[in-house]
Each structure stands twice: as structure tokens, then as C-alpha cells.
């Protein structure tokens, strides 16, 4: 049976480390780091995720602000608020919770964020710096996966790594980061997607499989080799007859894969908590490198 890559445990450790750092900052008579979240509309999943980020800020001692807009907000109104946050000396980092309503150009919004305050790591400048192996904000989920592999000392050098899914937020940056000259990294990376024929041919040879599809139980035990490391980014609500009416499922068929893998992330409790912790990590990095933080 595979050992568990416990994202909940590691994320708590990281948040404790950040909290200790913030306590020192505040003891030195400096203000605490400040993270702002912009929420547009009433999407249930977005609201829950933003509320969890506010709670994380409280846990580590950050100042946090939540700015809400109705789903009818205009693109110009949203851009005006982003410009205000870009210029504010009291704000170290901010995020605009995605997805956005149809009347708003998501790319235009991301591009409007000051890269120095882009703690989600989505701005093209930060993506480019990441691709060139320069210091920058890494997207929170890939950053969380790297940190989890690092904390458990999972060997990645020279390993065959298969990424399933090529999103800008997870799959594509993950493929770049696993191939970088660093630890974790130095892997031979294959990026697979919906047009890849016979994905199983790739996953069966992989030492590490990272899946970010949003397709419950897609990866089965017969699709991996003995001793593989399995990282499950997917999380989907699946209706059932429980009192809640649903359960959360990952992309990985946990039982069959855990019987063959050496390490595996659970869902929930694997990558999700790490994503949230790394947003806190990016925020304190922004605070310490801010041109406004004199």
C-alpha cells in the first residue's frame, strides 16, 4: 500500500512557519502582510474558496480584505478597483477569484494586475519568469505540489513524469517546473491532454503521475506501474445518497492506485490545503519584496 502525501499536515506546518514569521514582523513594530481578495458574483464554490482564504489569513496573522462585486459589475469598474489596489501602499498582494462573468475579459483582468502583487502567479510576466527559471511567484497549486514533493523528499531527478491536463493554472506550469534544473525537478516530462492517444501507454511507464483533469476516478490502478508516485489535483462534487447529498472525488481511483503506488495524495486533504498554504507563502514573499514596504 502507498504511503500518504499528507497535504493537510504539511500545510499546517507551513502556516505555522508563516505565523511565526509574521509575529516577528509585528513585534518589530511593522504592519502585518495584507492580502486582498476580489469576489464577483455568488458562485458557491468561489465564495467557499475565498472564505477559506480569509480564514487562512486570520490563522497566520495577515490582514485580509474581501471586496465583493455583483455579477453585473462592468469590466471598467473591476479594472478601476484593480488599479486602486495596484497603487495602494497598504496592499501587498491580491487575487481576483476566477471564473468571472461573461461580460468581463478574464485575460484583460489578469494582465491588469501588478506582477509584483500577483500572488496567484497568473500574470504573463510571472509565467515567463517561471519558464526562464527566474525568481517569481509560482502558481499556488504547482507551488504546493513542489513543496509537498520536497517535504517528503520524493526523488524527481531523472524520473519520468507524466502530467495529465494542460491548463494554464496547473498542468502547463507543472510541466515546466518538473523539468527545471532544481529540486523538485530535473524530470523527463510528458504533458498529456484530451487529444493524447492511449494515455495509458504514458502513465504505465511514469515514475510520477500528476493528474489535473476534473474527471472523477479517471486514473485506475491498471494504468500505473508498481511504485509510482501519484499526485491528484482533481476535485469534483459527485452526487450520492449521503446526508450532504454529495462527496468529493479526485481524478484518481484511490483504492486501486494506492495498492500499487509508493506515494499518493488523498482527496480531500492532499493538494487542496497546499494550494491555500502557498497563497499565504506568496503573500509574505510579496510583503518582503514590496517596493512600498519601507
β-strands 236-239, 229-232 pairing: unpaired
Residue 239, strand partner residues: 246
Q: Does 46 show up as a binding residue in the annotation?
A: no
Question: 504533458: which residue's cell?
Answer: 191
Q: Does 235 show up as a binding residue in the annotation?
A: yes
CA end-to-end span of the chain = 52
Question: 462527496: which residue's cell?
Answer: 247
Is 102 marked active-site? no
What are the cell numbers at 28?
518589530
Q: How high is the pLDDT of residue 110?
A: 97
Mean pLDDT of 124-146: 97
β-strands 63-69, 160-164 pairing: unpaired
For residues 252 and 112, give the distance between their C-alpha atoms in angstroms, rounded to a whole number: 36
For residues 221 and 225, give the distance between their C-alpha atoms in angstroms, rounded to a whole number: 8
Q: What are 37-75's pLDDT values in tens digits?
A: 999 999 888 888 899 999 999 999 999 999 999 999 999
Mean pLDDT of 258-262: 98
Q: What are 137-165's pLDDT values in tens digits?
A: 999 999 999 999 999 999 999 999 999 99
Asked if 66 and 54 touch (Cβ cutoff 8 Å), the reply is: yes
Phi and psi, residue 85, nearest 5°: -70, -35
Q: What are 10-30's pLDDT values in tens digits?
A: 999 999 999 999 999 999 999
Average pLDDT, the chain: 96
List the alpha helices (DSSP H) in the chain: 7-27, 44-60, 75-87, 106-112, 124-131, 140-151, 171-178, 199-203, 254-258, 271-289
Q: Does 187 show up as a binding residue in the annotation?
A: no
pLDDT beyond 60 at 294 = no
Q: How high is the pLDDT of residue 44?
A: 84
Among 78, 182, 187, 74, which Cα is nearest to 130's? 182
Confidence category of residue 191, pLDDT binned at 50, 70, 90: very high
Kindly report the pTM of this predicted structure. Answer: 0.95
To the nearest 10°, report the CA torsion of 36, 119, 143, 152: -50
Q: Which of 15, 97, 114, 117 is catalytic?
A: 97
The DSSP secondary-structure symbol of 278 reads H
Q: How high is the pLDDT of residue 45?
A: 82
Q: Does 165 show up as a binding residue in the annotation?
A: yes
Distances in Å between the Cα of 102 and the Cα atoms of 75, 87, 95, 200, 241 are: 10, 27, 19, 36, 34
For residues 265 and 229, give the distance between their C-alpha atoms in angstroms, rounded to a whole number: 9
Q: Which of 6, 56, 120, 253 is catalytic?
A: 120
For residues 279 and 93, give the distance between their C-alpha atoms in angstroms, rounded to a whole number: 10
Is 53 marked active-site? yes
Distances in Å between the Cα of 262 and the Cα atoms of 19, 152, 249 are: 32, 12, 21
pLDDT beyond 80 at 233 = yes
Is 97 marked active-site? yes
Asked if 141 and 169 touch (Cβ cutoff 8 Å), the reply is: yes
Amino acid at each position: 500500500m502507498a504511503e500518504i502525501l499528507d497535504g493537510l499536515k504539511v500545510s499546517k506546518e507551513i502556516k505555522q512557519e508563516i505565523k511565526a514569521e509574521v509575529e516577528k514582523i509585528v513585534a518589530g513594530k511593522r504592519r502585518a502582510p495584507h492580502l486582498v481578495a476580489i469576489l464577483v458574483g455568488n458562485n458557491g464554490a468561489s465564495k467557499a474558496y475565498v472564505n477559506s482564504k480569509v480564514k487562512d489569513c486570520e490563522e497566520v496573522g495577515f490582514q485580509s480584505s474581501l471586496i465583493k462585486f455583483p455579477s453585473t459589475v462592468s469590466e471598467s469598474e473591476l479594472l478601476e478597483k484593480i488599479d486602486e489596489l495596484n497603487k495602494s501602499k497598504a496592499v501587498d498582494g491580491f487575487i481576483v477569484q476566477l471564473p468571472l462573468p461573461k461580460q468581463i475579459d478574464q485575460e484583460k483582468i489578469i494582465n491588469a494586475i501588478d506582477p509584483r502583487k500577483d500572488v496567484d502567479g497568473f500574470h504573463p510576466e510571472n509565467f515567463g519568469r517561471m519558464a526562464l527559471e527566474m525568481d517569481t511567484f509560482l502558481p499556488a497549486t504547482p507551488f504546493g505540489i513542489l513543496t509537498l514533493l520536497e517535504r517528503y523528499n520524493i526523488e524527481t531527478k531523472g524520473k519520468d513524469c507524466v502530467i495529465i491536463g494542460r491548463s494554464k493554472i496547473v498542468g502547463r506550469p507543472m510541466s515546466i517546473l518538473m523539468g527545471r534544473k532544481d529540486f523538485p525537478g530535473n524530470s523527463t516530462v510528458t504533458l498529456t491532454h484530451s487529444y493524447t492517444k492511449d494515455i495509458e501507454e504514458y502513465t504505465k511507464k511514469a515514475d510520477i503521475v500528476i493528474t489535473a483533469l476534473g474527471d472523477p476516478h479517471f486514473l485506475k490502478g491498471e494504468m500505473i506501474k508498481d511504485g509510482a508516485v501519484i499526485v491528484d489535483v482533481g476535485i469534483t462534487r459527485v452526487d450520492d445518497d449521503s446526508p450532504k447529498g454529495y462527496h468529493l472525488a479526485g481524478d484518481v481511483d484511490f483504492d486501486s492506485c494506492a495498492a500499487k503506488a509508493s506515494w499518493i495524495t488523498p482527496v480531500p486533504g492532499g493538494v487542496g490545503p497546499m494550494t491555500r498554504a502557498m497563497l499565504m507563502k506568496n503573500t509574505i514573499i510579496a510583503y518582503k519584496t514590496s517596493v512600498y514596504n519601507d
